[in-house]
């Protein structure tokens, strides 16, 4: 079996420090905000996996459909010997690329969760004994250095996660990815596409209430990690389409006036009735917008693949 290496570039206390900083910044500003990454403790990850199976939530199925149909074409277009996956999680969709890319010799999954990386690597090494796996525990939005691996290299950022970044954050992220690329390397990017408002809102406000529980899980995380006393039942889950920015916003709306204490931050937060906390932005894209944002980061869009219903796209870009 090929070797498995794991490098931790994220300090042990980085997650705690980041949570404190984000909550302090987000809940003392107007309007209040929280980053979506704090949904994802163990329970939040379970809820998200459940979301991906819901009839209303199409992105995961649509992206998988593209990978099933186009993985050999993607492999041929890149000739990649190293696959680098940002936010790899369980690496489930990555297997479709690994199985279709005979030239691949190295896989570099990057994620903040060491347990997710180790679990995924165990299965990948068993199924693909000829591939070296070098996992990196890191926050890819904060800058990233990669191990020396053979080129060409393909950086994959799947799932439409780039839509969770605000425009300035996306620009900075794409510029940082460009900094990782050498001539001949590429970026495989998953983007959810603009479509009917009703379809989009249902995807983020399902009938079974799973997304609502996922949204409210950020309150549970703050209660557990920061000693806060948020009453989750005092907030409603809200999903809205912003046609000007072409993104979905998830929010938590206070049902009545209330005061929340967060002892670990020595903070008291007041909510008016109807006041909202924005917990996620999920931007939707058109091909011209993807091309423009890649170009601004000195990358050229060379391939564009969509599912049969044009709901989701995978794009391949090369460094210029």
Residue-level pLDDT, tens digit, the chain, 320 residues: 456 777 766 566 667 888 999 999 999 999 999 999 899 888 888 899 899 999 999 999 999 999 999 999 999 999 999 999 998 766 677 888 888 888 888 888 888 777 777 777 777 777 777 888 888 887 777 777 777 888 899 999 999 999 999 999 999 999 999 999 998 899 999 999 999 999 999 999 999 999 999 999 999 999 999 999 999 999 999 999 999 999 999 999 999 999 999 999 999 999 999 999 999 999 999 999 999 999 999 999 999 999 999 999 999 999 98
The angle that helices 167-180 and 287-296 make with each other, rounded to 10 degrees, is 60
Chain position carrying tokens 């916003």: 249
| 120 close to 89: Cβ distance less than 8 angstroms | yes
Q: Are strands 267-271 and 153-157 parallel, antiparallel or unpaired?
A: unpaired
Q: What is the pLDDT of residue 72?
A: 94
Q: What is the pTM assigned to this prediction?
A: 0.92
Q: What is the pLDDT of residue 148?
A: 82
Nearest-angstrom CA–CA distance, 71 and 255: 47
Angle made by CA atoms 230, 231, 232, in degrees to the nearest 5: 100
- What distances in angstroms separate CA 171 from CA 174, 181, 235, 262, one per listed residue? 5, 16, 33, 33
Question: 99: closest CA among 130, 133, 145?
Answer: 130
Q: What is the pLDDT of residue 253?
A: 98
Q: What is the pLDDT of residue 9?
A: 66
Residues 1-212+285-320: name the CATH superfamily. Vaccinia Virus protein VP39 (3.40.50.150)
Q: What is the pLDDT of residue 140?
A: 76
Q: Are strands 186-192 and 312-319 parallel, antiparallel or unpaired?
A: antiparallel
Q: What is the pLDDT of residue 13?
A: 62
Q: What is the pLDDT of residue 207?
A: 97
The overall longest dimension of the chain from CA atoms, in Å, is 60
Structure tokens at 2: 């090929």
Chain position carrying tokens 């425009």: 167
Q: What is the pLDDT of residue 99?
A: 86
Instruction: List strand residue ranges (DSSP E) for 196-298, in order.
Output: 235-242, 247-254, 258-262, 267-271, 276-283
Q: What is the pLDDT of residue 1?
A: 45
Structure tokens at 31: 């309007």
């Amino acid at each position: 079996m090929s070797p498995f290496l794991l490098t931790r570039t994220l300090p042990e206390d980085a997650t705690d420090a980041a949570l404190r900083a984000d909550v302090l910044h987000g809940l003392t500003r107007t309007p209040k905000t929280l980053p979506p990454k704090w949904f994802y403790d163990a329970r939040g990850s379970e809820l998200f996996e459940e979301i991906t199976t819901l009839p209303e939530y199409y992105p995961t199925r649509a992206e998988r459909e593209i990978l099933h149909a186009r993985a050999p074409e993607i492999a041929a277009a890149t000739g990649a010997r190293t696959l680098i996956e940002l936010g790899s999680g369980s690496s489930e969709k990555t297997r479709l690329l690994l199985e279709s890319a005979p030239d691949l010799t190295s896989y570099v999954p990057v994620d903040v969760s060491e347990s997710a990386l180790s679990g995924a690597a165990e299965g990948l090494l068993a199924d693909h004994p000829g591939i070296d796996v070098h996992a990196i525990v890191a926050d890819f939005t904060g800058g990233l250095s990669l191990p020396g691996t053979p080129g060409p290299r393909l950086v994959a950022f799947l799932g439409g996660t780039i839509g969770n970044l605000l425009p300035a954050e996306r620009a900075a992220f794409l510029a940082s990815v460009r900094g990782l690329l050498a001539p001949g390397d590429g970026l495989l990017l998953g983007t959810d596409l603009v479509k009917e408002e009703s379809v989009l809102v249902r995807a983020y406000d399902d009938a079974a209430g799973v997304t609502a529980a996922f949204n409210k899980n950020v309150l549970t995380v703050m209660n557990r990690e920061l000693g806060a006393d948020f009453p989750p039942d005092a907030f409603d889950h809200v999903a809205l389409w912003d046609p000007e920015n072409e993104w979905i916003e998830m929010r938590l709306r206070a049902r009545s006036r209330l005061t929340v204490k967060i002892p670990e931050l020595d903070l008291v937060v007041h909510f008016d009735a109807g006041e909202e906390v924005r917990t996620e932005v999920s931007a939707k894209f058109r091909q011209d917008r993807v091309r423009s944002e890649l170009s601004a980061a000195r990358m050229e869009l060379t391939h564009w693949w969509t599912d049969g219903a044009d709901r989701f796209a995978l794009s391949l870009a090369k460094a210029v």
